[in-house]
Amino acid sequence: MKKSWITKTFVPALAVLVLTAGTSAGKAMAYFTTCASGAGRVQVDLAFGNTSTDDKVESRIKHISIQNSSPTEDCYVRVKVLVADAYQDSVKYSSASGKWTRNEADGYWYYDTPLKPEEKTDELLAGLELTKLPGITDEEDREIFNIIVVPEYTAVVYDDENRPYGDWDAEAVQEGVVE
């Protein structure tokens, strides 16, 4: 009996197609049978509250202060003040209390003392010293005066001699979780 060209061509192709589909179906079936769903939310508790920032503007000067909103824990705070590169040299800072210190290496302003619960920092003033150019509208003036305040806080930790400090490199770790 002589084999036809259909038997020689299509039967091996059909066998390959069936084998390929069979191996792929196993993976697809396993994928669909191992799915799980969940709902809800988890709140991360860092063992201390939060902070709130007040940064109002008066006469081209931003008045920056931060309050420790935690009812029980002390914290350290710092802020980064961002302005457009063109105006970096025009921003002048001041602090009547002298408790704000700028770290030139990282660009943050650090409040030197820890904040007790519900305590507020003294004001850090950031003023943009530009004379208003002739022909600039009030809207354009407000656009130039765009100072952004980025606040951060960390819990107070203590060294071996019981001196407080802020660990700005600390990471939040959930107890009992093994990675």
Instruction: Render 96-158 in DSSP notation, one character per residue.
Output: SSS-EEE-TTT-EEEESSPBPTT-BPPPEEEEE--PPPTT--HHHHHHH---EEEEEEEEEEE
Q: Output the CA–CA distances (angstroms, integers) from residue 125 to 12, 46, 141, 156, 161, in the order listed.
A: 81, 30, 19, 25, 34
The amino acid present at 100, given as its one-letter code, is W
Q: Which residue has the tokens 């009996």?
A: 1
Question: For the residues 8-35, what does the mean pLDDT come to?
Answer: 63
Tens-digit pLDDT profile for residues 145-163: 678 898 999 888 889 999 9
What pTM was estimated for this model as a whole?
A: 0.63
Tens-digit pLDDT profile for residues 68-77: 988 888 899 9
Query: How much of the chain is in helix, strand and coil states, percent to nearest 5?
Result: 25, 30, 45
* Opening angle at CA 48, ends 44 and 54, nearest 5: 105
**94 compared with 9, residue with greater pLDDT:** 94
Question: For the residues 118-122, what does the mean pLDDT come to?
Answer: 94
Confidence of residue 143 (pLDDT cuts 50, 70, 90): low
How many whole angstroms separate alpha carbon 6 and alpha carbon 98? 92
Question: For the residues 160-179, what does the mean pLDDT come to?
Answer: 72
Number of Cβ atoms within 10 Å of the Cβ of 70: 21
Q: Which two tokens stand for residue 31?
A: 């994928």
The rounded mean pLDDT for the chain is 76
- The pLDDT assigned to 161 comes to 93
What backbone phi and psi angles, to 5 degrees, belong to 51?
-125, 160
Q: Residue 101 pLDDT more than 90?
A: yes
